[in-house]
Structure 1
Amino acid sequence: MVWQALRNRIALNFTSVACRLSAVPRHPVKVMGLEFPTPLGIAAGFDRHGALGRRVASLGFGFNEIGSLTAAALARLQPIPPGDARLGVNLTLDARCSTAETCALLRGAWRHADYLVLNLIGPSSAPLLHQGARLHNLLTALREEQHHLNQKGERRVPLIAKLRCLPEQIPFSLAGLLLELGFDGLLAAHDPGPPATRERYLAWQDPQRQAQACEQIEHLRRFCQKDIALLSVGGIQTASQLQARMRAGAELVQVHAALLRQGPWLGRKLLR
């Protein structure tokens, strides 16, 4: 764990330097009413506290998702470095927190974000997945809070949820709930989560594994139609894999492990 934390810090610092040295052509796409410089983004966990901020557009990343943030982490958040990339703020949904506390977390993050993500794949949110009525009520309250802030403010901040999407475990029920409540997007996470080991990174080089992720996206796209934006994260390492996810129906795609292992010019490589 100590080595992983050190590796992550080195990768983050290296990427920060690269942001000042690079310039990648734009490939703009419009999703959820927002224009993104490119459809490729950085997943939550890499730039957890927003040190890179919006500067990553110079590396070819159209968006950068910071977090996952708790209320304490949000309170310590420093000013976000400016740039052209969109900024997502990933919020921890902690089953130990009340609905009022979680709505306060969303209110605090709204002013920083171009879009907001409710993280339903973390260990602290796991109990919520087994408490159907409570989860429904919580997501309803958060959607209403987002709607109120968007009406009151001078801009619209989309709201999406991050769901685990594994073989034979496509979250159709949760996707249906998001559609019912009028969420703007669904982020499908195809990887079981930390730790990001070398063995698991290499496993994603199996074409069958990539095909499974694309099939999951295809199923979700057919289920959701065009009523919700679809994002994909997990296992993207090459330009052909990025293209395959988008052909399957993903409108935006995130990377994390590949950025750690291939370096900050990954965006240029994937967008060729």
Structure 2
Amino acid sequence: MYRLVFTQVLARFDAEAVHHLTVRALRLLALLPLLKRLIHRALAPRDPALRVKAFGVHFPGPLGLAAGFDKDAGCAEALAAFGFGFVEVGTITAHGQPGNARPRLFRLIRDRAIVNRMGFNNAGAQAAAARLRRPRGLPVVVGVNIGKTKVVPEAEAVADYAACAKELAPLADYLVVNVSSPNTPGLRDLQAVDMLRPLLTEVKHVAAATTRRTPLLVKIAPDLADEDIDAIADLALELELDGIIATNTTIARPAGVRTTAATRAGGLSGRPLKARSLRVLRRLRARVGDRITLVSVGGVEDVDDVWERLLAGASLVQGYTGMIYGGPLWASRIHRALARRVRRHGLKSIEEIIGRTAT
């Protein structure tokens, strides 16, 4: 039914307009506590076999929503009600900004992909903090993804990230430093270790000063050379970060992408990113072993993808484009199928398979 609605109705409208309409609907749901609880009871992961503990945080299921959908932290509860084990909000910047000029979001339907050049459009850290302080009517693990304000020069990036972290780290279950979006000029330059070290050191100091020491992760691009991936992995171990998220969208256009929208500038997500994202995960696992939590994102479409990422060493998995093409019940369906697969393999918990065949 959703596929029919998507292809015959939603696909005829501007992608960003549909996105904003969806976010508003989810925010409305958050104001209807009875309906919200009923949906949560029906769709949220509840099976004990799905529970994962990573960097000291308990997750009801391993599949979460990647950053980019809930940019202003306005609908995390509603998203959790629809079956996500956790929701990562953002990317949020210290100062509000409109993002890049529209149009800036494009569907590649035949490729099950999306190209975006949103540019960290958000209302800023203070506005997001106000929303995150509101009492929650549902249990939800909320990660907060932070990025650089576009107008802030590179020389002031550390202070900009730190200011954002001071607002949001106390309110987050975990904090993510995003230095890998292709849509903010110069942002990916911060992935160079000599620039990344002082940035992560300062943000880690902020996160560690919170009442419960907020876990800190870094999100990397899929377009890094292998030696740069190794260098960031080594830096994460050196600084004792809590995790690495791999990967963000790609500026590459893999062979076989058929939709003409792929020629537009921006980050590509979805099915064409699947192979590269998995290769980066496996390289990270080989480099860090089980000394740091790995979160895999990029091209995750179904339960087979989630299972493969867990076997390759990820403790948690994220999706976004998969939900756009899979519909509102996407996360719930995957979690249910995952629980059945765990038991079919004679296991009691999903944690028994994490990294089982990683090399």
TM-score, reference length from structure 2 = 0.65
Which whole-Å CA distance do the structure 2 matches of 1:248 and 1:43 have between them?
A: 19
Counterpart of 1:112 in structure 2 is 171
Question: 1:233: which partner in 2?
Answer: 297
Return the letter of the residue paired with 1:231.
V
Distance 2:169 2:143 in 1: 10
Residues 14 and 245 from structure 1, CA distance in 2 versus in 1: closer, same or farther, beyond 3 angstroms? farther
- In 2, the alpha carbon distance for the partners of 1:182 and 1:140 equals 10
Contact 1:29–1:35 at 8 Å: present in 2 too? Answer: yes
Partners of 1:203 and 1:32 in 2: CA distance: 27
Report the secondary structure of 1:219's partner residue: helix
For residue 175 of structure 1, what is the amino acid of its counterpart? A
Aligned to 1:79: 131
2:71 counterpart (48, 51, 55): 48
2:206 maps to amino acid: E
Spell out, residue by residue over 1:78-106, the C-alpha distance to the aligned partner (whole angstroms, 9 max, x if none): 42362212001100035353433321211
The secondary structure found in structure 2 opposite 1:71 is coil
Which whole-Å deviations, capped at 9, do the CAs of 1:147-169 have from their partners, x for residues lacking one?
2x14xx1x231000000124864
Out of 93, 115, 137, the residue aligned to residue 70 of structure 1 is 93
| Distance in 1 (alpha carbons) for counterparts of 2:194 and 2:297 | 28
Q: Report SS of the residue matched to 1:5.
A: helix
1:186 aligns to 2:260 (yes or no): no
Write the distance in 2 (CA, Å) between the matches of 1:198 and 1:57.
33
SS for the counterpart of 1:226 is coil
Of 47, 50, 60, the residue aligned with 2:83 is: 60
Do structure 1's residue 36 and structure 2's residue 68 form an aligned pair? no
**Which structure: larger Rg?**
2
Give 3-state SS (helix, strand or coil) of 1:241's partner: helix
TM-score (norm 1): 0.85
Query: Aligned pair in 2 of structure 1 residues 187, 6: CA closer, same or farther (>3 Å)?
Result: same
Alignment of 1:1-272 (within 5 A): 3-15=14-26, 17=29, 20=36, 21-22=38-39, 23-24=42-43, 25-26=45-46, 27-72=50-95, 73-77=124-128, 78-80=130-132, 82=136, 83-94=138-149, 95=154, 97-122=156-181, 123-124=184-185, 125-130=187-192, 132-147=193-208, 149-150=209-210, 153=211, 155-166=212-223, 169=226, 171-189=229-247, 191-192=249-250, 199=259, 205=271, 210-271=274-335, 272=337
Judge conservation of contact 1:69–1:90 (CA < 8 Å) in 2: yes
CA distance in 2, matches of 1:256, 1:264: 11
Could you say what the CA RMSD is over the residues aligned between the two structures, in angstroms? Answer: 3.0
Counterpart-to-counterpart distance in 1, 2:72 and 2:139? 18
Question: Structure 1: which 5+ residue stretches go unaligned?
Answer: none
Displacement of 1:129: 3.3
CA, structure 1 residues 205+266, in 2 after alignment: closer, same or farther (shift >3 Å)? same
Rounded to whole Å, the distance in 1 between the matches of 2:252 and 2:20 is: 16
Q: Percent identity?
A: 29
The answer to whether the Cα contact below 8 Å between 2:246 and 2:277 also exists between their aligned partners in 1 is no
Structure 2's unaligned 5+ residue stretches are 1-12, 96-123, 263-267, 338-359
Q: Which residue of structure 1 aligns with residue 105 of structure 2?
A: none
The change in CA–CA distance for 1:65 and 1:194 in structure 2 (over 3 A counts) is: farther
Q: CA deviation at 1:184?
A: 0.2
Residue pair 2:270, 2:321 contacting (<8 A) in 1 also? no
Aligned pairs, number: 263
Q: Distance in 2 between matches of 1:193 and 1:50?
A: 26
Deviation at 1:232, TM superposition (A): 0.9
